[in-house]
Amino acid sequence: MRLLYILSGLLIYSTALAQQPGIIPVPLQFAKGNGYYTLNNYSSISYNNEALKTIAYYFQNELLSQKGITLQQKAKSANIVLLLKAGKKHTDSCAYQISIKPEQVTVSATHPNGIFYGVVSLLQLVITNKNNQLPVAEINDAPAYGWRGFMLDESRHFFGKQKVKSILNWMAFYKLNTFHWHLTDEPAWRLAIKKYPDLALIGGIGDYLNPNLPAQFYTQADINEIVAYAAARYIKVIPEIDMPGHATAANKAYPEYSGGGSIGHPEFTFNPGLEKTYGYLTDILKETNVLFPSGLIHLGGDEVSYGNEKWKSNPDILRLLEREKLKDDAAVEHYFMKRMVDSLYQLNARAIFWDEMAEADLPKEKTIIFWWRQEKPAQLRTALSKGYQTVLCPRLPLYFDFVQDSTHQYGRKWNKLYSPIEQVYQFDAQSFTENEKEKQLILGIQANLWTETVDSENRLDYLLFPRIAALAEAAWTPQKHKDFKAFSNNLNQHLVLYSKAGLYYYNPSKPLQNPEIPVRRKKPLNYKD
Ligand code: ACM
């Protein structure tokens, strides 16, 4: 009797699991009926608006490469219908509905972005199903947050166009919509600027572990290609030109703009005391703003105090202090940032900063703050109480260079703390404030992959997969709909996809399947604790 009870319990449990839609992030509503629509080489697709043509093409392409299915476009009465509807102006552009019937599948939305996400959900359903069956269902979905981001640091290690495109494709697969590209820092500068070619040609030499590697950088044609690739997947690309600190590589190319550094971080800063520095950086931002149509540029502003010792004796800066009546180095930073922000506004772009800049009085309607120091909740309080739109990316659990298992040795830990997938999954952006106005200021969440310890594509994969899936669900799905067990079950089907794609991912339920990859040579992480 007891055995029977256990067996029937298992049956109900496995039926419940079998009914999981297999979509990550899990849709808001998924009402399953009976039967299937089966996709095959006779299936066709149509759309009612030219704006959906590239989305149909994306779906066809992915189906062909993942499943070998050749779906044909048809003018009308196709099996898969993409339907752009007239809708109210203020509905979420990412919202979509899917209706799967045994003879026809309709994806509808009031914005092409919603149609794209509907198509991504269909794609996930079909590629996680052996028989290409889409279950009869009504799906209604929209994201909890508008900012669902991922940052890649390519200053410390350069991965190149193909890997970046692959990451963008996986981001689209998980409905992540913002790619923050950390292109400049101490080891190297990775963005070609026509007016200052040595930034890339000289600043692009070397990486975190090897200062002598030939220059690696993105040409402006590369940037155009990647931005277009991202746009076709409804991802905006935000470049970061870090200033006034983390400027070492730029200063190697154009030392005349250097404000010096410290023993640990030589030539770390731009010189805020020199008038010509502002013209130089504005010229760089002008080209950057043309290359990246997102209208958002990240200006860094982090950790300046790690390498601004020379400011104390730099005559240009001493003159600036006196002229502008600035009381200390922080005031110099703030003065510098106000001027750079003014330059950006002239270009009709908005600025993003790390949380240090919540203390500078920058215009709040044109500034977004990234809260990254989880040990400084007061910094988040400052940003929100001053009315800044804010993105949450606290190191723990959202810096993906932190390891995901206690036995891992090569990535970061915070004392003994690290970043297991469950903590990424459970991250609840709403829990950081009770105040309704402040809740509205939280745009969303982002994971950041710094690459001091990421010197190969395999290590990149190992740190990114599968935590990217947990990030996506934490950003898309309201907290009350989240369920780690159901997510883990869905994830198992996605791990199969990672294997098929040749990714070297970490498997939380079989940690030894792909062992941790060592970093080629260990170098102390000297300023990012
Ligand atoms: C940072 O991690 N320095 C923003």
Per-residue pLDDT of the chain (529 residues; tens, 9 = 90+): 344 444 443 333 333 444 557 899 999 999 999 999 999 999 999 999 999 999 999 999 999 999 999 999 999 889 999 999 998 766 799 999 999 999 999 999 999 999 999 999 999 999 999 999 999 999 999 999 999 999 999 999 999 999 999 999 999 999 999 999 999 999 999 999 999 999 999 999 999 999 999 999 999 999 999 999 999 999 999 999 999 999 999 999 999 999 999 999 999 999 999 999 999 999 999 999 999 999 999 999 999 999 999 999 999 999 999 999 999 999 999 999 999 999 999 999 999 999 999 999 999 999 999 999 999 999 999 999 999 999 999 999 999 999 999 999 999 999 999 999 999 999 999 999 999 999 999 999 999 999 999 999 999 999 999 999 999 999 999 999 999 999 999 999 999 999 999 999 999 999 999 999 888 765 655 544 4
Tell me: do 335 and 464 sit in the same domain.
Answer: yes
CATH of the domain at 128: 3.30.379.10
CATH of the domain at 197: 3.20.20.80
pLDDT score for 520: 79
Tell me: do 328 and 437 sit in the same domain.
Answer: yes
Of 265, 303, 401, 526, best ligand 1 pocket probe by most atoms within 8 Å of the beta carbon: 303
Distance 223 CA to ligand 1 centre (A): 24
Tell me: do 175 and 244 sit in the same domain.
Answer: yes
pLDDT score for 89: 65
Tell me: do 180 and 62 sit in the same domain.
Answer: no
- Number of separate domains in the chain: 2
CB atoms within 10 A of CB 378: 11
Tell me: do 480 and 344 sit in the same domain.
Answer: yes
Distance 394 CA to ligand 1 centre (A): 10
Is any ligand 1 atom within 6 A of the Cβ of residue 303?
Answer: yes
pLDDT score for 91: 74
Tell me: do 133 and 189 sit in the same domain.
Answer: no
pLDDT score for 105: 98
pLDDT score for 90: 65
Distance 365 CA to ligand 1 centre (A): 23
Distance 372 CA to ligand 1 centre (A): 7
Which structural domain range is residue 18 located in? Answer: 14-141
Q: How far is CA 44 from CA 35, 55, 139, 202, in A?
A: 19, 14, 21, 52
Structural element, H or E, at residue 285: helix 275-291
Tell me: do 85 and 175 sit in the same domain.
Answer: no
166 in any annotated domain = yes
- Single residue among 141, 163, 196 that ends a domain in this structure: 141
107 in any annotated domain = yes
281 in any annotated domain = yes
Cis amide bond preceding 466, omega within 30? yes
The pTM of this model reads 0.95
**Closest protein CA for atom 3 of ligand 1:** 302
418 in any annotated domain = no
Q: How far is CA 47 from CA 44, 55, 56, 76, 232, in A?
A: 11, 9, 8, 8, 16
Of 372, 392, 401, 452, best ligand 1 pocket probe by most atoms within 8 Å of the beta carbon: 372
Tell me: do 117 and 72 sit in the same domain.
Answer: yes
Separation of alpha carbons 196 and 225, rounded Å: 21
129 in any annotated domain = yes
Is any ligand 1 atom within 6 A of the Cβ of residue 353?
Answer: no
Separation of alpha carbons 126 and 116, rounded Å: 15
Tell me: do 215 and 67 sit in the same domain.
Answer: no
**Closest protein CA for atom 1 of ligand 1:** 302
Phi, psi at residue 479, to the nearest 5°? -50, -40
Q: Which atom of ligand 1 is nearest to the CA of 395?
A: 2
- Single residue among 96, 112, 141 that ends a domain in this structure: 141
Tell me: do 196 and 275 sit in the same domain.
Answer: yes
- Single residue among 82, 116, 141 that ends a domain in this structure: 141
pLDDT score for 2: 41
174 in any annotated domain = yes
Distance 355 CA to ligand 1 centre (A): 9
Distance 396 CA to ligand 1 centre (A): 12
Tell me: do 157 and 273 sit in the same domain.
Answer: yes
Of 241, 354, 398, best ligand 1 pocket probe by most atoms within 8 Å of the beta carbon: 354
511 in any annotated domain = no
Tell me: do 113 and 259 sit in the same domain.
Answer: no
- Residues with Cβ within 8 Å of residue 149, at least 6 apart in sequence: 176, 177, 178, 179, 180, 391, 393, 444, 445, 446, 447, 475
Is any ligand 1 atom within 6 A of the Cβ of residue 376?
Answer: no
